[in-house]
Structure 1
Protein backbone atom coordinates (compact mmCIF):
# COMPACT_ATOMS: atom_id res chain seq x y z
CA UNK A 1 0.00 0.00 0.00
CA UNK A 2 1.29 3.44 -0.82
CA UNK A 3 -1.60 5.29 0.76
CA UNK A 4 -2.24 6.67 4.21
CA UNK A 5 -3.90 5.06 7.20
CA UNK A 6 -5.77 7.07 9.79
CA UNK A 7 -7.31 5.57 12.88
CA UNK A 8 -9.72 6.72 15.56
CA UNK A 9 -9.13 3.73 17.87
CA UNK A 10 -7.77 6.03 20.57
CA UNK A 11 -7.13 3.20 23.04
CA UNK A 12 -4.75 1.41 20.63
CA UNK A 13 -1.05 1.49 21.40
CA UNK A 14 -0.36 2.18 17.70
CA UNK A 15 -2.57 5.29 17.56
CA UNK A 16 -0.58 8.53 17.68
CA UNK A 17 -2.70 11.63 17.14
CA UNK A 18 -5.17 9.76 14.92
CA UNK A 19 -2.51 8.11 12.77
CA UNK A 20 -1.34 4.52 12.93
CA UNK A 21 2.28 4.14 13.99
CA UNK A 22 2.49 0.45 13.02
CA UNK A 23 4.63 -0.50 10.05
CA UNK A 24 2.47 -3.49 9.15
CA UNK A 25 -1.31 -3.63 9.60
CA UNK A 26 -3.46 -6.75 9.41
CA UNK A 27 -7.15 -6.38 8.46
CA UNK A 28 -9.35 -9.43 9.04
CA UNK A 29 -12.76 -10.40 7.68
CA UNK A 30 -12.28 -12.98 4.95
CA UNK A 31 -16.04 -13.48 4.39
CA UNK A 32 -16.97 -9.81 4.97
CA UNK A 33 -19.75 -8.07 3.09
CA UNK A 34 -19.55 -4.79 5.04
CA UNK A 35 -17.03 -2.82 7.05
CA UNK A 36 -18.71 -3.99 10.29
CA UNK A 37 -17.55 -7.52 9.51
CA UNK A 38 -13.88 -6.50 9.28
CA UNK A 39 -11.40 -5.85 12.07
CA UNK A 40 -7.91 -4.56 12.72
CA UNK A 41 -5.90 -7.50 14.04
CA UNK A 42 -3.01 -5.12 14.78
CA UNK A 43 -5.06 -3.42 17.51
CA UNK A 44 -3.43 -3.67 20.92
CA UNK A 45 -4.56 -1.77 24.05
CA UNK A 46 -2.33 1.07 25.25
CA UNK A 47 0.07 0.23 28.04
CA UNK A 48 3.76 -0.24 28.71
CA UNK A 49 3.76 -4.02 28.14
CA UNK A 50 1.98 -3.70 24.77
CA UNK A 51 4.18 -0.76 23.76
CA UNK A 52 7.26 -2.88 24.36
CA UNK A 53 5.88 -5.95 22.57
CA UNK A 54 4.81 -3.86 19.55
CA UNK A 55 8.12 -1.98 19.27
CA UNK A 56 9.39 -4.16 16.42
CA UNK A 57 6.34 -3.17 14.31
CA UNK A 58 6.76 0.58 14.77
CA UNK A 59 6.98 2.74 11.66
CA UNK A 60 9.95 4.76 12.96
CA UNK A 61 10.79 6.39 9.62
CA UNK A 62 7.18 7.47 9.10
CA UNK A 63 6.95 8.81 12.66
CA UNK A 64 10.16 10.80 12.22
CA UNK A 65 8.96 12.30 8.91
CA UNK A 66 5.58 13.10 10.51
CA UNK A 67 7.30 15.19 13.19
CA UNK A 68 8.46 17.62 10.51
CA UNK A 69 5.35 17.61 8.33
CA UNK A 70 2.28 19.50 9.51
CA UNK A 71 0.71 19.63 6.04
CA UNK A 72 0.64 15.97 5.04
CA UNK A 73 0.41 12.45 6.44
CA UNK A 74 3.78 10.74 6.17
CA UNK A 75 3.02 7.38 7.80
CA UNK A 76 2.18 4.79 5.13
CA UNK A 77 2.08 1.26 6.54
CA UNK A 78 1.81 -1.93 4.56
CA UNK A 79 -1.70 -3.34 5.02
CA UNK A 80 -2.30 -7.06 4.76
CA UNK A 81 -5.98 -7.63 4.04
CA UNK A 82 -8.01 -10.81 4.40
CA UNK A 83 -11.30 -9.20 3.27
CA UNK A 84 -11.67 -11.20 0.05
CA UNK A 85 -14.80 -9.32 -1.04
CA UNK A 86 -13.20 -5.86 -0.85
CA UNK A 87 -12.34 -4.16 -4.15
CA UNK A 88 -9.10 -2.84 -2.63
CA UNK A 89 -7.81 -6.31 -1.75
CA UNK A 90 -5.29 -7.40 -4.39
CA UNK A 91 -3.36 -10.55 -3.51
CA UNK A 92 -4.12 -9.94 0.20
CA UNK A 93 -2.68 -6.42 0.16
CA UNK A 94 -4.73 -3.25 0.44
CA UNK A 95 -4.49 -0.97 -2.60
CA UNK A 96 -6.71 1.88 -1.33
CA UNK A 97 -5.05 5.29 -1.42
CA UNK A 98 -6.43 6.21 2.02
CA UNK A 99 -7.62 3.84 4.75
CA UNK A 100 -9.68 4.63 7.84
CA UNK A 101 -9.81 2.22 10.79
CA UNK A 102 -12.78 2.81 13.07
CA UNK A 103 -13.07 1.98 16.76
CA UNK A 104 -13.30 5.08 18.97
CA UNK A 105 -14.19 3.05 22.08
CA UNK A 106 -12.48 -0.19 21.02
CA UNK A 107 -10.80 -2.27 23.67
CA UNK A 108 -10.32 -5.35 21.46
CA UNK A 109 -9.79 -6.21 17.80
CA UNK A 110 -13.48 -7.20 17.52
CA UNK A 111 -14.48 -3.60 18.27
CA UNK A 112 -12.54 -2.20 15.31
CA UNK A 113 -13.40 -2.14 11.61
CA UNK A 114 -11.99 -1.00 8.31
CA UNK A 115 -14.29 1.80 7.15
CA UNK A 116 -12.63 1.80 3.72
CA UNK A 117 -14.06 -1.65 2.94
CA UNK A 118 -16.04 -1.62 -0.30
CA UNK A 119 -17.62 -4.78 -1.63
CA UNK A 120 -16.99 -5.92 -5.22
Structure 2
Protein backbone atom coordinates (compact mmCIF):
# COMPACT_ATOMS: atom_id res chain seq x y z
CA UNK A 1 0.00 0.00 0.00
CA UNK A 2 1.47 3.39 -0.96
CA UNK A 3 2.60 5.92 1.61
CA UNK A 4 0.51 9.01 0.87
CA UNK A 5 1.61 12.57 1.52
CA UNK A 6 -1.23 14.98 0.83
CA UNK A 7 -0.37 18.63 0.34
CA UNK A 8 -3.95 19.67 -0.44
CA UNK A 9 -4.06 21.60 2.82
CA UNK A 10 -7.66 22.73 2.48
CA UNK A 11 -9.00 19.22 1.91
CA UNK A 12 -11.43 18.12 4.62
CA UNK A 13 -9.65 14.75 4.84
CA UNK A 14 -6.14 16.22 5.25
CA UNK A 15 -4.58 16.10 8.70
CA UNK A 16 -0.89 16.99 8.96
CA UNK A 17 -0.33 15.89 5.34
CA UNK A 18 -1.98 12.53 6.04
CA UNK A 19 -5.37 11.39 4.76
CA UNK A 20 -8.32 10.49 6.98
CA UNK A 21 -9.83 8.33 4.23
CA UNK A 22 -8.78 4.70 4.01
CA UNK A 23 -8.64 5.07 0.21
CA UNK A 24 -8.58 7.79 -2.43
CA UNK A 25 -9.51 7.84 -6.11
CA UNK A 26 -7.08 9.38 -8.60
CA UNK A 27 -8.47 10.21 -12.04
CA UNK A 28 -6.48 10.59 -15.22
CA UNK A 29 -7.61 8.10 -17.87
CA UNK A 30 -6.08 10.15 -20.69
CA UNK A 31 -3.36 11.84 -18.60
CA UNK A 32 0.05 12.34 -20.12
CA UNK A 33 1.33 14.70 -17.39
CA UNK A 34 0.96 15.17 -13.63
CA UNK A 35 -1.22 18.23 -14.10
CA UNK A 36 -3.79 16.15 -15.98
CA UNK A 37 -4.44 13.92 -12.96
CA UNK A 38 -6.82 14.74 -10.10
CA UNK A 39 -7.66 13.40 -6.66
CA UNK A 40 -11.38 12.77 -6.99
CA UNK A 41 -11.65 12.24 -3.22
CA UNK A 42 -10.75 15.87 -2.51
CA UNK A 43 -13.38 17.78 -0.51
CA UNK A 44 -12.88 21.46 0.26
CA UNK A 45 -12.91 21.86 4.05
CA UNK A 46 -15.15 24.94 3.77
CA UNK A 47 -17.81 22.90 1.97
CA UNK A 48 -17.44 19.74 4.07
CA UNK A 49 -20.29 20.55 6.45
CA UNK A 50 -22.73 20.09 3.58
CA UNK A 51 -21.13 16.89 2.31
CA UNK A 52 -22.82 13.65 3.35
CA UNK A 53 -19.74 11.60 2.41
CA UNK A 54 -17.57 13.69 4.74
CA UNK A 55 -20.01 13.23 7.60
CA UNK A 56 -19.78 9.46 7.28
CA UNK A 57 -16.01 8.92 7.46
CA UNK A 58 -14.45 7.64 10.66
CA UNK A 59 -10.89 6.91 9.60
CA UNK A 60 -7.81 7.99 11.51
CA UNK A 61 -5.11 9.80 9.54
CA UNK A 62 -2.69 7.31 8.03
CA UNK A 63 0.42 7.45 5.88
CA UNK A 64 -0.67 4.14 4.29
CA UNK A 65 -3.65 4.79 2.04
CA UNK A 66 -5.17 2.59 -0.64
CA UNK A 67 -5.10 4.42 -3.98
CA UNK A 68 -7.49 3.52 -6.77
CA UNK A 69 -6.12 4.99 -9.98
CA UNK A 70 -7.43 5.45 -13.50
CA UNK A 71 -4.19 6.94 -14.87
CA UNK A 72 -3.52 4.06 -17.26
CA UNK A 73 -0.56 5.92 -18.80
CA UNK A 74 1.34 5.92 -15.49
CA UNK A 75 4.07 3.37 -14.78
CA UNK A 76 2.66 2.81 -11.26
CA UNK A 77 -0.92 1.99 -12.33
CA UNK A 78 -1.97 -1.62 -12.69
CA UNK A 79 -5.56 -2.86 -12.72
CA UNK A 80 -6.82 0.50 -11.46
CA UNK A 81 -4.56 0.55 -8.41
CA UNK A 82 -1.41 2.50 -7.64
CA UNK A 83 1.72 0.50 -6.85
CA UNK A 84 4.16 3.34 -6.16
CA UNK A 85 5.93 3.15 -2.79
CA UNK A 86 5.22 6.81 -2.09
CA UNK A 87 2.57 9.11 -3.52
CA UNK A 88 2.27 12.87 -3.17
CA UNK A 89 -0.93 14.77 -3.94
CA UNK A 90 -0.52 18.49 -4.52
CA UNK A 91 -3.16 21.18 -4.91
CA UNK A 92 -2.46 24.21 -7.06
CA UNK A 93 -4.00 27.62 -6.47
CA UNK A 94 -6.22 27.54 -9.55
CA UNK A 95 -9.37 26.63 -7.69
CA UNK A 96 -10.97 24.90 -4.76
CA UNK A 97 -12.30 21.84 -6.53
CA UNK A 98 -10.82 18.38 -7.04
CA UNK A 99 -9.51 19.26 -10.50
CA UNK A 100 -6.98 21.60 -8.88
CA UNK A 101 -5.32 18.57 -7.23
CA UNK A 102 -2.63 16.53 -8.97
CA UNK A 103 -0.68 13.34 -8.38
CA UNK A 104 2.95 14.41 -8.26
CA UNK A 105 4.09 10.79 -8.43
CA UNK A 106 2.60 10.27 -11.90
CA UNK A 107 5.27 9.06 -14.34
CA UNK A 108 4.30 8.50 -17.98
CA UNK A 109 4.92 5.05 -19.44
CA UNK A 110 6.74 6.37 -22.51
TM-score range, shorter chain: 0.7 to 0.9
Mapped pair 1:75 → 2:74: no
Instruction: Provide the rounded CA distance (Å) in 1 between the counterparts of 2:8 and 2:68.
Output: 18
Q: Residues 11-40 of structure 1: CA distance to partner in whole angstroms, max 9, x if unpaired? A: 100110111111110000100001000000
Structure-2 residue corresponding to 1:103:
91
Question: Pairwise CA RMSD of aligned residues?
Answer: 1.8
Instruction: Provide the rounded CA distance (Å) in 1 between the counterparts of 2:6 and 2:81.
Output: 18
Structure 2 stretches of 5 or more lacking a match?
Answer: none
Structure-2 residue corresponding to 1:22:
21
Instruction: Provide the rounded CA distance (Å) in 2 between the counterparts of 1:99 and 1:23.
Output: 14
- Give the TM-score of the pair, scaled to structure 2: 0.86
Shift of the alpha carbon at 1:52?
5.7
Structure-1 residue corresponding to 2:42:
43
Instruction: Provide the rounded CA distance (Å) in 1 between the counterparts of 2:50 and 2:5.
Output: 20
Other structure's SS at 2:89 match: strand
Shift of the alpha carbon at 1:119?
0.6
Shift of the alpha carbon at 1:76?
1.1
- Give the TM-score of the pair, scaled to structure 1: 0.80
Structure 1 stretches of 5 or more lacking a match?
Answer: 64-73
Instruction: Provide the rounded CA distance (Å) in 2 between the counterparts of 1:50 and 1:102.
Output: 24
Structure 1 or 2: larger helix share? 1
